[in-house]
């Protein structure tokens, strides 16, 4: 990410930045198989799953 792009994002108002965040988050959620977890993260998820 370039400094120019970051500066453009910072020029957005709060509402626009929140919308951008939502769009980015949704794009990540649409590709769950692309997310690589560390072994520690996997263990933590297993631990939390057992608590349910």
Tokens for 24, please give them.
């980015």
Whole-model pTM: value is 0.64
- Distance set, CA 44 to CA 28, 40, 48 (Å): 21, 6, 6
Tokens for 49, please give them.
């799953």
pLDDT value of position 23: 98
Alpha-carbon Rg of the chain, whole angstroms? Answer: 16
Total structural domains in the chain?
Answer: 1
**Angle at the Cα of 21 from the Cα atoms of 35 and 2, rounded to 5 degrees:** 85
Q: Note down the domain range covering 8.
A: 3-51
Between CA 10 and CA 7 the distance in angstroms is 5
Digit-coded pLDDT (tens) for 7-31 = 999 999 999 999 999 999 999 999 9
pLDDT band at residue 46 using 50, 70 and 90 as cut-offs: very high
Q: What percent of the chain has pLDDT over 90?
A: 92
């Amino acid at each position: 990410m370039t400094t120019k792009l970051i500066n453009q994002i910072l020029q957005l108002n709060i509402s626009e930045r929140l919308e951008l965040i939502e769009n980015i988050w949704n794009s990540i959620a649409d590709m769950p198989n692309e997310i690589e977890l560390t072994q520690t993260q996997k263990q933590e998820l297993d631990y939390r799953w057992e608590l349910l």
